[in-house]
Structure 1
Amino acid sequence: MKEAYQVIPGAEAFYYEGSEIGILLCHGFIGTPQSVEYIGKAFAREGYTVSAPRLTGHGTHAKDLEHCTFSDWFSSLEKAYLDLKARCTTVYVIGQSMGGTLTLDLASRYQDIDGILLINPAIHVPAMAHYHHLAPTHFIKEGAPDIKDPNVTEITYPEVPAFAYQQLLTYMDVVKKRLPLVKTPITCFQSTIDHVVPPENTNYILQSVQSELKSKHVLDNSYHVASMDYDKEKIIRESLRFIQHQSAASHLKKVSL
């Protein structure tokens, strides 16, 4: 899909060159790479190659979402993954909210992903179900992003076409059926208070995937957009621990005789 509007300053995709271990970051619905930039820079400082694509229709103008399907969003992430995989021997994918949904879909299709990390992933949001009954061209007004820290400002849209929400709802149902195909190591970050995605989504995902290695970290001081909230340092710390552990285990497997 061709976007009709320019990218909002600060909402651009970003990439940091580093080691042979790559980290792919995926923002959420109506968010932008800005929402994962802080943690992305932290991984880059540790020497990893970091890529954060901007999903089609995001970070420009809400009217661009009138013509985007969930396949467009997935294609954005898939292309970034394939580009990163061509550069790195090892790749981990981190997804927030709908970015988690996209990450699960990607992992169900690419078994060579070395690990996935999900931040308040979305797979079932009952509060949004009524959007299915709205005219696709109807615009829904958005409230402030769900962030506990009052000093944080996220780049997002003030209103969103119902069509985009309908795509999201349909996509969550599609990915829910693909969860048993996910076998890669997985760790999740779950905010105890989330006003957008019920925290139970994380438990459902962990119960449904077929990964042998599963873990969860509870975030007591963040709301939905946790990568920008008070617990962001905990997310970085635990993510690095997960990635370092998995990378060491993978290396041992590769060099064992």
Structure 2
Amino acid sequence: MAKNIQSLERAAAMLRLLAGGERRLGLSDIASSLGLAKGTAHGILRTLQAEGFVEQDAASGRYQLGAELLRLGNSYLDVHELRARALVWTDDLARSSGESVHLGVLHQHGVLVIHHVFRPDDSRQVLEVGAMQPLHSTALGKVLSAYDPVAHSEAVEVERKAFTARTVTALEDFEELLDLTRARGWAADVEETWEGVASVAAPIHDRRRMPVGAVAITGAVERVCDRGELRSELVAAVRECARAVSRDLGAGRF
């Protein structure tokens, strides 16, 4: 059984200590509360301070939680708020379309699936929450790359792997796809990531009009497409779902 890393345990204990009780604590208070030598406590505090997790008051020398923790906390809340706001709408989309629905966000140079609604039939399906999808080939990834500057940078600065013969990998061609996505408000993946699978996705915006995620319908090509093109009613349904979730997040009408 792997052992825990002591320095990380001590850092976590220090953050919990600063999160409770008094707003600011001195080095001696922190060290004595955690049973640490002052030198050890000071070293951990300096590391946490360098990473933005702890701040030191210039006047008193006391320590408090830093802004980086607030940023991380807000990110956590944003993801969970997005999922909570999307639950009813994605259920409705799966039911009306007859296909599976995925909700994704940008994470570690890819798309993290944070919610998955099964196709409403009796077929055997695997829950994909927590799965990662590529940015450059999937419908979710293209939408995020088109609307989110960070996702765009991550998609264009890396080598784009060809998953099938249809995968667009050349930078100029990929940028043209993103321009098309922004122009029409949705993205497609017709056998670019998986043979026989097609998907359509639209962006979700928050109250600041910033892209916070994307929603997609995914299914077999013969069901999602008609004569090689995505079925227009599915495109409309995905876009309306994205608009509804965006409105619930405070984006207003658009």
Using structure 2 for the length normalisation, give the TM-score.
0.22
* Greater Cα radius of gyration, structure 1 or 2: 2
Using structure 1 for the length normalisation, give the TM-score.
0.22
**Comparing both chains, which one has the higher relative contact order based on Cα–Cα distances under 8 Å and sequence gaps of 6 or more?**
1
